[in-house]
Amino acid sequence: MDLTPTADEERLRAEARAWLRAHVPAAPLPSLETAEGFAAHRAWEAELAAARWSVVSWPERYGGRDADVFGWLAFEEEYYAAGAPGRVSQNGIHLLAPTLLAHGTEEQRARVLPPMAAGETVWAQAWSEPEAGSDLASLTSRAVRTDGGWLLSGQKTWSSRAAFADRAFGIFRTDPAPVAGGRPHRGLTYLMFDLRAPGVTVRPIGRLDGKPAFAELFLDEVFVPDADVIGEPGQGWEIAMSATGDERGLTLRSPGRFLAAADRLVRLWRTHGDPADSALRDRVADAVIGARAYRLFTAAAASRSAAGAELGAGSSLTKVFWSRLDLALHETALDLLGPEGELADSAWAEGHVFSLAGPIYAGTNEIQRDIIAERLLGLPKGRR
């Protein structure tokens, strides 16, 4: 693995650094889990898109810069180091867009991707169901054939961004027969739908701090045209799995996020740390080591991906690692701050609330450990 940056990566990094220095808001935006903050972050997405920084790895015709994965990683490091706002379009950019680029039609890509890049259309993920969290194959929400499209019915839950988003994507059961045959992964179809369409009810779910970071979706015969089916009906499971590989592996949590957080933690130690507290000092050091190790691990995964290899079950290793690292970073920061860290709306407190969800979303860590045990280590199946 050669970590020497290319001339193109260095140019992109330098250009991004200069632009971010000139444009990152001087004061933090309001939390994107509020209506006011959501609107402010949507405006920030538009500003990024106008300068073609919102989706650097996409083709230029959709608003990107044609950067490879190493260019994207370099941009992400600059982005987080600059203290730039969180990305309200993350579900669409890092989950739906790769799916459309791999499995969608050119008409879908041309229609969906540019407004997604500009923050004009913000997407929610609608996969989990009350009785089918990480066991996605057991979902029961259905899509029934009708003239010119499908009618969606059922309930989705823990839908990220759905409280304020415009549209959503998810998989639905279009053929119940495989369930009776013991093959629940079959008969699923991947669809996009409008959150403001007749028959959709959005009920926000408050986090520990009361902010609606998630929502439940109730669907009552919601019409979706054939144009919004991704891939062929019945291929939903295979398409969803390619998306989760992206989510758990390279794209959902770039190393730049943790490197920047680790740098902030070191600065926090210098202002709040007790030199006699060697245990807490060691936790700060461990967090820095973890962030740098994750950078190297991601670079290795990117090298394999660039060479054409599938990330496969290795994505589960990545997901478990970054979710635990995120928790460790924020818990250490709160311990450093003491009672001050409990103040609502501080960056560390809000980050800690979000990090608590890390072992759950994108497939629970328990499920990921099962995958690691069975597919990477060859251990016998158990627990499930």
Catalytic residues: 247
The answer to whether 168 touches 192, Cβ cutoff 8 Å, is: yes
- Sole residue written with tokens 């969800």: 357
**What span, in angstroms and rounded, lies between the C-alpha atoms of 183 and 180?**
7
> Which region holds residue 382: left if phi is over 0, alpha if psi is between -120 and 50, else beta?
beta
C-alpha dist (Å) from residue 381 to 186, 308, 360:
21, 29, 21
Between strands 214-225 and 149-156, the pairing is antiparallel
With 0-12 CB in 10 A as exposed, 13-18 as middle and 19+ as buried, what is 380?
Answer: exposed
DSSP 139-179: ---EEEEETTEEEEEEEE-S-TTTTT-SEEEEEEES--HHH
Residues 152 and 143: their CA atoms lie apart, in Å, by 4
Which one, of 65, 257, 58, 226, lies nearest residue 149 by Cα?
A: 226
Residue 341 tokens, joined:
């860290």
